[in-house]
Chains A and B, each alone.
Chain A
Amino acid sequence: MNQCKQCGATLPEDSRYCLQCGTENTAGALQEQAELDFLKPAALGGLAMTVLSLIPYVTYGNVLCCLWVQLGGGLTVWLLDRQRPGSIKYSDGALAGVLSGLIGAIITTILFIPMQIFLMTPESAAALKAQFEQQQMPPAAMDMVMRFMAPGFDMSRTLIVLVLYMVIDGLFAMIGGILTTAILAGRKRQTD
């Protein structure tokens, strides 16, 4: 652990700035290294979280604090980490996570369009309602969901899905990315 020379706060070893006062942490600053390619890892992470979130039954993993979304962010960071011999920074992990979450949200929304047209039928709505009744969902919430899941394509609904998933996937993929960065950094220090 390093200490901030300005305010004395304890800092993570790889932290570039003091999180209390903002002073640059020169002891922990990494040497300037080659630029990281964020896009490919983020696209793969975003795709992975979308696929896992759409597979029947497997999708229930997301009920544990968006597990697949966090793992998508983690996968992105793992791929990013392989581009450098040294550890990547927390901010790299956070940005990579956010980017993968946004890409995941866009892929989900694109896939949601044909799903609305072909899969959201009166029969599927009835089956969904029966499932909610079995789960004892509050009536007001169930009514709102059933209105939202009405059959056919709806542009406003598609935009709501996009914004909602950008917020949720962006947030949880960022958390997954940061936590994976911390775990990978510790592992690399052990092997060095």
Chain B
Amino acid sequence: MDYRPSHRNDAAKVKHPVQPALVGCTIIWCLAIVAVPLLDLTPVYLFFSTICHQIPSRSWHIYGEPLGLCIRCTAISFGFLSGLLVLRAPNVRWLKIAIAITAGEWLLSAALVDLETLRVVSGLLLGSAAAPIVRAGVGEMFMRVRTAHESM
């Protein structure tokens, strides 16, 4: 499929909305994690239950109520947000290292020692390493869909 822009000279004039849209959606996602205990958002809590075990002993609490996601998933989400805001270029090597650290930490927690700090650090690394790569993929997909739509 040829998805080159039909008006190539106009392409540079169009501002790419993917970065602000992704950042906006991720901020809403992260706020929702924190808002679950603060605003007693049961439907949101149940939505998050499809992607996380939400075990209270493995979650942070606000006013005695657990956040919408466990500590690891919360760290991945906030790491993703920071990666979107701070990192510019995708780095696959960092992604592989982050996946290896997360897998290693998970094995370590199952076999020897389960430390909250390690879960936070590995989650932040994984989320931030994945963010620029996901942005690149979503950005290209957006451009592809838009140019295909324009050429119709």
Seen from chain A, the residues whose Cβ lies within 8 Å of a Cβ on chain B are: 1, 6, 9-12, 15-24, 32, 35, 60, 62-66, 89-91, 93-95, 98, 135-138, 140-141, 144-145, 164, 168, 172, 174-175, 177-179, 181-183, 185-186
Contacts and interface: CB of A to CB of B under 8 A. Distances in A.
A144 B43 contact: yes
Interface residues of B, number: 52
B4 A24 contact: yes
Contacts of B19: 19-20
B99 to A, nearest CB: 9
Most A Cβ at <10 Å: residue of B11, B55, B72: B11
A66 to B, nearest CB: 5
B8 A24 contact: yes
Contacts of B40: 140
Interface in B1-53: 1-2, 4-5, 8, 11-12, 14-16, 18-19, 40, 42-43, 45-47, 49-53
B31 to A, nearest CB: 17
Given A32-B2, A141-B42, A181 B137 contact: yes
A15 B54 CA distance: 37
A21 B51 contact: no
7 A-B pairs with the lowest CB-CB distances in the bound complex, closest first: A178-B137, A91-B140, A63-B53, A94-B141, A90-B137, A19-B139, A94-B137
